[in-house]
Structure 1
Amino acid sequence: MRTLYSLCGKAGESYSPHVWKVIMALHHKQLDFAIEPVDFSTIKGIEGGAFNSVPVLRDGDRVLGDSFDICEYLEEAYPDAPRLFEGDGGRRMARFFETYCLTMLHPPLSVIVAMDMYNVMSESDQAYFRAKREERFGVSLETLAERGDSEREVLTERLVPLRKTLEDQPWICGDKPLFPDYIVFGTLQWCWVVGARDLLDKDDPVQRWFSRCQDLFGAAARDGLAA
């Protein structure tokens, strides 16, 4: 059984966008795994203290961090399982979507869901998260949350390329989901899990695509669970 270390909330929900990329990739590759929940204070104890962030995957004797590196490993280690990439071009496309999410979607979402994230965390994680976020933004979490409406407008604009793409095809890569879908899905699933479930109109092509992603491997993703 593979072990995937994940930040989890009080109810056991996985809320890291990067962990969700790996969760979806493992399901796609039809590989069994178990979630090992951690919080901010215990990340440094994962696998003997070799990692500072999640996800971390143990697969037999192999232990890897970084979501993209993990998924590249899964593709190479399990070549007979369904493919995550379609050749080198697919890998490069995935890198583009990784950059798109990190630079265009994560910044507004980090503001929009700041209080939602705080509310699902354990008490010890709340103290850590508040200190780090307030240091980063220079305001209280409560003040940061007041910027949410303006950041929603930014998000809407930054989703336009994705929205236009999904008007004409069911998945980012065409007629079937591949790793670029899971990269973007992880970003929006992070928000869904912590309670921000009204970011998109129900008729938005991105929302319809997101719902299809949630239904790919069973309904557990709708509750923020891995299995």
Structure 2
Amino acid sequence: MITLFDLSGKNDLRFSPYCWRVKYLLNFRKIKYQTEPTCFTDRLNNTFFGDARLPTITDDGIKISNSFNIAEHIENKYVDIDQRIINSENKSSLYFINHWSDHFLNASILERVAYDIISVLDDKDIEYFIESRSKRFGMSPKDFQACNMKKSENSFYKCCNFLDKILENQRYLLGENITYAEMIVLGSFTWGEKVSENTQIEKKFERLSAWKNELTIRLGH
């Protein structure tokens, strides 16, 4: 059985967008798996992980990290070639969605939740998170979030608008069928809503909201 090392916080909250990508794919494929709750400092202090980040899985003695690599492994091992939602025809598009989500959608969410995340962390992770993110941001998470929330330019709104436009003439992000693009983007929205109230999709984005609601029900939350 697959074991997924899953980022966890206070009261066993699971909030990593990258871990959710993998869980949504496993749920979609109805593949049995178990999760191992893993805090930030658990990963840092466990030599098992080395340089690997979360998510990491073990499957029949093989250790794999990086959500996209894990997704490819799952599809290649457990799914017939003609049924795979990561394939030679869509992989370039999936690389684009993966990169866009990592560097634009996730960045826009982080601007709005960086400080709120602290309230859902396990106590032993709080000092590490504040120190590491303060170094990354050049200011405290509290100031980083406050500054971004005051900006007239709302990057999260722009990302939602971009996705809503894509869904204007098609049911899913790459066409009329579910692909791994759904898991990538849904994982980001799940992260946002698990840790804060600042990433609610505006009502005007009806297509995006309908897409999210359908997939949340279909893939599990």
TM-score (norm 2): 0.90
Residue deviations 1:93-118, cap 9 Å, x none?
11010111122112221121112211
Q: Secondary structure at the match of 1:41?
A: helix
Residue deviations 1:15-70, cap 9 Å, x none?
11111110111112221111101111111455724343100011122210010001
Amino acid at match of 2:214: R
Shift of 1:122: 0.9
Q: Where does 1:193-212 land on structure 2 (aligned, <5 Å)?
A: 193-196=194-197, 198-204=199-205, 205-212=207-214
Following the alignment from structure 2 to structure 1, what is the Cα–Cα distance between the partners of residues 13 and 152?
25
Amino acid at match of 1:36: E
Q: Secondary structure at the match of 2:192?
A: helix
Residue deviations 1:157-181, cap 9 Å, x none?
2333311111222211222321011
Aligned to 1:63: 63
Identity %: 24
Distance 1:152 1:60, change over 3 A: farther
Task: Name the Cα RMSD after superposition.
Answer: 2.0
Aligned to 1:175: 176
Aligned to 1:185: 186
Q: Secondary structure at the match of 1:89?
A: coil
The answer as to whether partners of 1:4 and 1:35 remain within 8 angstroms in 2 is yes
Aligned to 2:110: 110
Aligned to 1:16: 16
Shift of 1:78: 1.2
Aligned to 1:32: 32
Following the alignment from structure 2 to structure 1, what is the Cα–Cα distance between the partners of residues 125 and 188?
21
Aligned to 1:150: 151
Following the alignment from structure 2 to structure 1, what is the Cα–Cα distance between the partners of residues 201 and 63?
37
Following the alignment from structure 2 to structure 1, what is the Cα–Cα distance between the partners of residues 13 and 151?
28
The answer as to whether partners of 2:112 and 2:198 remain within 8 angstroms in 1 is no
Aligned to 2:218: 216
Shift of 1:5: 0.4
Shift of 1:192: 1.2
Distance 1:217 1:191, change over 3 A: same
| Bigger shift: residues 55-64 or 204-213 | 204-213
Aligned to 2:75: 75
Distance 1:46 1:97, change over 3 A: farther
Distance 1:65 1:115, change over 3 A: same
Residue deviations 1:108-154, cap 9 Å, x none?
21121112211100111111111111111122222122122428712
Following the alignment from structure 1 to structure 2, what is the Cα–Cα distance between the partners of residues 198 and 191?
6
| Bigger shift: residues 163-172 or 39-48 | 39-48
1:135 aligns with 2:135: yes
Following the alignment from structure 2 to structure 1, what is the Cα–Cα distance between the partners of residues 104 and 60?
36
| Bigger shift: residues 180-189 or 205-214 | 205-214
| Bigger shift: residues 106-115 or 41-50 | 41-50
Amino acid at match of 2:210: R
Q: Where does 1:80-91 land on structure 2 (aligned, <5 Å)?
A: 80=80, 82-85=83-86, 87-91=87-91
